[in-house]
Amino acid sequence: MSNSSDSKPGNRILTIPVRDRGAFEAACADATDSDAVRVAVVHITGEADDGEGYLESGEPGMPAVLAAVQAPVVASLSGRIDDRALELALAADVRVCDAGTTFALTQPGRGELPSDGGTQRLPRIVGPALAADMLLTGRRVTAPEALAAGLVTEMLPDDEAAARAVEIAAEISARGLAAGRFSKEAVLKGADMPLDQSLRLEADLAILLHSDPERTEGIDAFKERREPDFRGKPGYRRDDPGR
Nearest to other proteins of 55, 104 (CB atom): 104
Amino acid type, 183:
S
Distance of closest approach, residue 236 Cβ to other proteins, in angstroms: 10
Nearest to other proteins of 113, 199 (CB atom): 199
Distance of closest approach, residue 21 Cβ to other proteins, in angstroms: 26
Amino acid type, 111:
G
Distance of closest approach, residue 137 Cβ to other proteins, in angstroms: 21
Strand partners, 77: 44, 97
Nearest to other proteins of 52, 222 (CB atom): 222
What's the CA gap between 178 and 88, in Å, rounded? 24
What's the CA gap between 190 and 203, in Å, rounded? 11
| Element spanning 86, H or E | helix 83-90
Nearest to other proteins of 137, 197 (CB atom): 197
Q: Residues interacting with other proteins, by CB under 8 A?
A: 72, 74, 93-95, 124-127, 148, 150-153, 168, 171-172, 174-176, 178-180, 182-184, 186-188, 190-191, 194-196, 198-199, 202-212, 214-223, 228, 230
Look at the alpha carbons of 175, 180, 74, 70 in this order and tell me if their dihedral is positive or negative: positive
Please choose, from the candidates 73, 109, 108, the residue with its C-alpha nearest in 3D space to the C-alpha of residue 91: 73
Nearest to other proteins of 18, 169 (CB atom): 169
Distance of closest approach, residue 182 Cβ to other proteins, in angstroms: 5
Distance of closest approach, residue 52 Cβ to other proteins, in angstroms: 27
Distance of closest approach, residue 32 Cβ to other proteins, in angstroms: 16
**For the purposes of burial, counting CB atoms within 10 Å of the CB of 154, is it exposed (0-12), middle (13-18) or buried (19 or more)?**
middle
Nearest to other proteins of 55, 146 (CB atom): 146
Please choose, from the candidates 88, 103, 93, 79, the residue with its C-alpha nearest in 3D space to the C-alpha of residue 158: 79
